[in-house]
Structure 1
Amino acid sequence: MLDQDRPKIIQDSRKIAPPATYVPKSYVQGEEAYRSLYRESVEYPESFWAAVASELTWIKPWETVMEGDFPDFSFFRGGYLNVSENCVDRHALGFRRNKVAIFWEGENGERRIITYLRLHEKVQKFANVLKKCGIQKGDVVSVYMQNLPETFVALLAILRIGAVYNTVFAGFSPEALRERVVDSKAKMVVCANRSYRRGRPIPLKENVDRALEGVDTVKTVIVYRRSDEQVPMTPGRDYDWHELMAEAEPICPVEPMEANEPGLLIYTSGTSGKPKGIVHAGGGFLVGTYAYTKYQLDLRDEDVYWNTADIGWLTSHIFVLVGGLALGVTTVLYEGALDYPHPGRLYEMVERYRVNKLFSAPTAYRMLVKNGEELARRYRLSTLELFASVGEPLNPEAWEWVYRVLGGGRAVINNTWGQTETGGTPLAGAPGAVEMKPGSCGVPFYGHSLDVVDGDGNPVPDGTPGFLVIRKPFPSLARDIFGNRQRYVDTYFNVMPGVYFTGDSAIRDEDGHFWVLGRVDDVINVSGHRISTMEMESALITHPKVVEAAVVGRPDPVKGAVPVAFVILEAGAERGPDLEKELEQWVADEIGSFARPAQVYIVETMPRTRSGKIIRRMLRELIQEGKVQGDTTGLEDFDAVERILENLRGRTGF
């Protein structure tokens, strides 16, 4: 049973009404409208999802909206459609043909503009390239590329011919790429010759060559020339993107796909260390992401929208590639680090493209906080009217800063919760409808039945921590783990029969807002007190010198476990043992003496995933074992662990 004491971040929370200037722009206006639509959507989910699906283009109508239950369920059975047609054709062949689909910018300042018509032309040609290379419906194609328009072209072309794409983050090592290519049985790899981050070239093609040594399933590698640098090409296997596109036929009809057939395969970390290949149905993913993007971001034709996620992370697929393009929006796509070559790069791009809706990760927002108000005030940011966040909970302090400094107190902040497996964000704010609470992940999305339960699966009272579960299927929920159905069933449905087990702990408050406290593993039992690491991290971040914190548990022979904190300080802050002791006392004063960290370590960096999440498992391993033992393929910066070790060597408790 989790601790009954309500965390301080919830006790201290305040309600902020949606800005009056924003409400008229929202699809759902006013809390009563949200409550009514939500109630109807969970009582009659077939009607809700049918209404959403009817806004999309279908080749053949569905026979049933919903069938079955966990773990064997389907949506829109018997209905045929094509994701690529819905994201490209219906705009390119209509009034949006000359509308900008993508404003692209590289780190070095290079810029391109791609309209929906131009995107349509490129997607059709590359689809014919795939066919000419022998790719057929159901084949897996791995795409190892950075944020480029051509990456979008490749993915949409794969969907167009009924193949299945597997994106692999362009920062992954050859070993990580190999593991995913082998596990997915990919027949083709599409890559760029180079990518760039912080001005440093990353040798993608050389990584592919190393990854494919001894791999016999991959018959073809297509290389997009991001730079003029020559790379080794294996005759009979490797082909130049530009040469193939120059010879390709211009017209490629779409492949009709039954709504439950696989469309994409995304790998995510597994507790065993072996990444899990999460399988999403193309049709279900399209319907779900269209709904999330429309209602959670209120995207409309006049918007310029920037989701900063890397295409190697599913957020980009949910809210840009599929959800965003299905709505026909104009999106900004950026290749590189958000603070390179100068700290104001993100602001500069918001100003240049007049971005009015920004979606990023808590890490990025905390970076902006660290850079300070003075920098933000050098740029014209008055166009911004909505900020969204996903990846991990956005702490109240960063939330308030974004609301006050970047939004001027007149913008919506939408702090969301989702997983690779959910294919979207089942918890989010309802912009223009529901009051905002800094630190909360909002309210359940339409058509989603979420609950907080105890260890026996029984609902707990509002205000009580418990396990976050989902009670009914929804279209974008993952349908399988590639090649391992039993692992899929055991991981998500056998932990608590009858529900989808998220693996996260949460609290639902008396207003129906959900507060995600972190992974179940991130709750520390200290002498019988079960403490949320999120609460401790939030307490640390309220200290004026701390900009980021991560708390993990270390086994203790007396207390069972003790919390250990890692913190990053604001620029220019003096570090030292006195400050570390001060921070230990700070947590004790904020939460209680039982929550005092056994040790606070001041570090320069944290181990992060490509999406910016702190990999707390690695911090636990460093504290407990003195080294990282599990899977490291998800690391964005492979030197981060060594730099942390340099900070820790010779320290007390290490």
Structure 2
Amino acid sequence: MSEFALGDVPLIAPHYQPSGLMPVKTMDEYRVLYQQSIENLGQYWAKVAQELEWMEPWQVDMEGSLPDFRFFSGGTTNVSVNCIDRHARANGAKTALIWRSETGERREWTYHQLPPETARFATSLKAMGVGKGDVVAIFLPNLLETFAAVHACYRIGAIYNIVFSGFSPEALFDRLIDTQPRVVVTADGTFRRGRVVPLKAALDKVIDRLPSIEHVVVIRRTGQDVTMRAPRDIYWHEAFNDNTPLADPVPVEANEPGFIIYTSGTTSRPKGLVHSGVGFLVGTYHNVRYSLDIRPEDVYWCTADTGWLTFPIFELVGGLAHGVTAIVYEGAMDYPNPSTFYQIMAEHRVTKIFTAPTWLRMLARYGPDLPAAYDLSPLELIGLVGEPLDPATWQWVQRHVGAGQVDINNTYGQSETGSAWVSSVAGVTPLKPGSCGCALPGHAYAIVDAKGQPVATNGTGILTITAPFPALARTIWHDPERFTTQYFSQFPGQYTTFDSAVQDRDDQLWILGRVDDVINVAAHRLSTMEMESAILDLDGVAESAVIGVDDAVKGQVPVAFITTRQATITADEWTHRVTEQIAENIGAIAKPAQVFVVDAMPKTRSGKIVRRLLKEILLSGEVKGDITGLENPEVIDALCATIRPEGR
């Protein structure tokens, strides 16, 4: 695709038939609703919020503007009531959570079982001195108890801080010293690719430097011996029992903080984004409705890790708000073998999945024989978030995993937005392989140039948000000035995503990556996403990543990295093929200065390729930063041995 021929990608009518729960049924109805929602934002979000249970009504639908805004002022409710209690009352026998592990273990909770586990642990937290506004750190993998721990915090109005279970002790320390939690909920360990990841031991390495921590609650997951220092440390199963009273839900005002989640700090300290608990509930409830159209009969699987915001959006809060039956998976989805993912899908007759584009590329790398061996016929919809999806993988998955009938909805959002607010409307809006769909109702935006002026259709610009919505982050923990400076200073009155985007003539949004990922080669602005997509169209290429590096003559030049499915082709031949492919599809100006064939890419557990590590290795030959959050940290040594800058 040349710049910028994305609008030439044909629209594909959705196969999925929307349920009666979907607010719109046609593209024309979507357009009308979207325009009405933007003209009357407060009224629109009030109508969404009224579908949930409230303890006290609000006085004002919406007030203020970016960055200082409020929704449903004065109204109170409780997130745990909306995600758990109301479904337990309506259909308590329904399975809420199906927990599976790479070890082969399986457990289930119904909506009848989830409230007492949650409410009794909430009582235990209160006994430990935790009250409304206090911070509780959740350092857990994907377990059933993770749901109870988070919603116990919601129940008593505590602020929780989920910390990714793969972080190193120092990365954990950086987040806990900032939030000063009174209680940490963790596990003795978790399983990942057949190994035990010691969580309690990681906490023990830094806890003496964290004086705020009064109690540590430990879930016995692996059975390994851990140090328990009484009375501070207590096991989950000893913290409460069947006789423990059930904590009543605390009314929480709609704009009060609900949780803190940290974004990666690659150039400075991590940012603790503060989200309103109730605002996040309303936003994620809305997001899941439009993007996934969850129905009572669905069995749904969000493959993300608890520590990434995708999981709270699409399962922990947004999914439960719809009374979903959800798969909760601990471990690596391709362990002990690549068929694990398909086995679970077939066994539970999964109808909808939410995952990452990189995972779909991994499935393609494993080949079509695996999905052909399983009955995947119940599958109707695949939702995605995390990075752009290339059209080649879109087509492969639709053909081999979905038998030509599955819709693939590649969405877009950020930790800051608290929702994937760019998305196809399930079964309603047409699809384009590679695009992220359209803005959902209630979300106003603009694509602007460096001076803040709107760009024309098919023009590349910076994506901004021009009006508030309930799920948008409210501040940075203990640093409101940094929040305003970072996100609202470039274009006053607008939130800057720092992502480059294009809107085509069909109103489809294409996210090209971070502004830094649009590189300038001899005064030509080139999208690394567009180059990656062109490379992935080559037969035998499984994954691709393109970065820009400084060049004395051209300013910047692209460098490409690929993994392949054809080991018989030499690296020199791959270099030739990749170079010619980019020249043919984009132009000679975009030819990469180097092409590296590697065995594996460094990835997060949510499936994103960590391109900054590829760049660091290319420039310095080593990685000095923390890599414990990677899915596969063992690949770094091999990459350092393979990747060499020109002239080294």
TM-score normalised to structure 1 length: 0.96
Residue equivalent to 2:65: 69
The alpha-carbon deviation at position 25 of structure 1 amounts to 7.6
Q: What is the aligned partner in structure 2 of residue 647 from structure 1?
A: 642
- 2:2–2:586 CA contact under 8 A, matched in 1: no
Aligned CA-pair RMSD: 1.7
1:98 aligns with 2:127: no
Q: Deviations over 1:604-623 (max 9, x none)?
A: 22222232112222222222
Aligned: 1:383 with 2:375: no
Partner of 1:36: 32
Unaligned runs of 5+ in 2: none
Structure-to-structure mapping, 1:546-565, within 5 angstroms: 546-565=541-560
The answer to whether the 8 Å contact 1:417/1:428 transfers is: yes
The residue that corresponds to 2:339 in the other structure is 344
For 2:448, the aligned partner's letter is V
Structure 1 residue corresponding to 2:48, chosen from 38, 52, 57: 52
CA displacement at 1:292 relative to structure 2: 0.3
Counterpart secondary structure, 1:323: coil
Tell whether the 8 Å contact from 1:273 to 1:631 is kept in structure 2 after alignment.
no
Query: Helix, strand or coil: the match of 1:455?
Result: coil
By how many angstroms is 1:582 displaced?
A: 2.5
Q: Does the alignment pair 1:469 with 2:459?
A: no
Matched, 1:19 2:15: yes
CA distance in 2: counterparts of 1:248 and 1:43, whole angstroms: 52
CA distance in 1, matches of 2:381, 2:403: 11
Q: Name the amino acid aligned to 1:621.
A: E
Note if contact 2:541-2:562 (Cα within 8 Å) is conserved in structure 1.
yes
> What code does the residue aligned with 1:652 have?
E
For residues 20 and 426 of structure 1, what CA distance do their matches in structure 2 show? 20
Is 1:136 aligned with 2:105?
no
1:106-185 equivalences under 5 Å are: 106-185=101-180
Deviation at 1:11, TM superposition (A): 5.2
Letter aligned with residue 583 of structure 2: A
Other-structure match for 1:366: 361
Unmatched runs of 5 consecutive residues or more in structure 1: none
Distance 1:653 1:429 in 2: 46
Q: 1:283 aligns with which of 272, 278, 284?
A: 278
2:491 to 492, 496, 520: 496
| Counterpart residue type for residue 635 of structure 1 | L
Q: CA deviation at 1:66?
A: 0.7
In structure 2, what residue type is equivalent to 1:55? E
Secondary structure in structure 2 of the residue aligned to 1:553? strand
Which of 6, 23, 31 is equivalent to 2:3? 6
1:620 to 611, 615, 622: 615
Q: Secondary structure at the match of 1:124?
A: helix
The 1-side partners of 2:23 and 2:424 are apart by: 13
Is contact 1:601-1:648 (8 Å) kept?
Answer: yes
**Partner amino acid for 1:299?**
I
Q: Determine the structure 1 residue equivalent to 2:477.
A: 482
Match in the other structure for 2:216: 221
After superposition, give the CA deviation of every residue in 1:465-509 in whole Å (9 maximum; x if it has no partner): 001111100000000111111110011100111211000000000
Residue aligned with 1:501, SS: strand
Q: Which whole-Å CA distance do the structure 2 matches of 1:358 and 1:497 have between them?
A: 38
Q: Residue by residue, what CA displacement relative to the aligned partner does 1:355-411 show, whole Å, maximum 9, x if unpaired?
A: 101111011111111111111100000100111000001111111112222222222
Sequence identity percentage:
48
Residues 175-221 of structure 1, C-alpha deviation per residue, up to 9 Å, x if partnerless? 11111111111111110101001111111111110121322111111
SS at match of 1:562: strand
Task: Indicate if the aligned counterparts of 1:191 and 1:204 stay in contact, CA closer than 8 A.
Answer: yes
How far apart in 2 are the matches of 1:607 and 1:572?
A: 20
Q: Distance in 2 between matches of 1:270 and 1:70?
A: 24
Q: How far apart are residue 627 of structure 1 and its match?
A: 2.9
Moved more, 10-19 or 559-568: 10-19
Contact 1:22-1:385 at 8 Å conserved across structures: no
- Among 251, 266, 269, the residue aligned to 2:264: 269
Report the CA distance between 1:27 and its aligned residue.
4.3
Q: Which residue of 1 aligns with 2:424?
A: 429
Q: Per-residue deviation at 1:629?
A: 4.7
What is residue 186 of structure 2 aligned with on the other side? 191
What per-residue deviation string (whole Å, max 9, x for no partner) do you get for residues 551-575 of structure 1?
1111111111111111111264534
Moved more, 472-481 or 395-404: 395-404
Cα gap change, 1:25 to 1:342, in 2 (>3 Å): farther
Residue in structure 2 matched with residue 298 of structure 1 by the alignment: 293
Conservation of the 8 A alpha-carbon contact between 1:454 and 1:467: yes
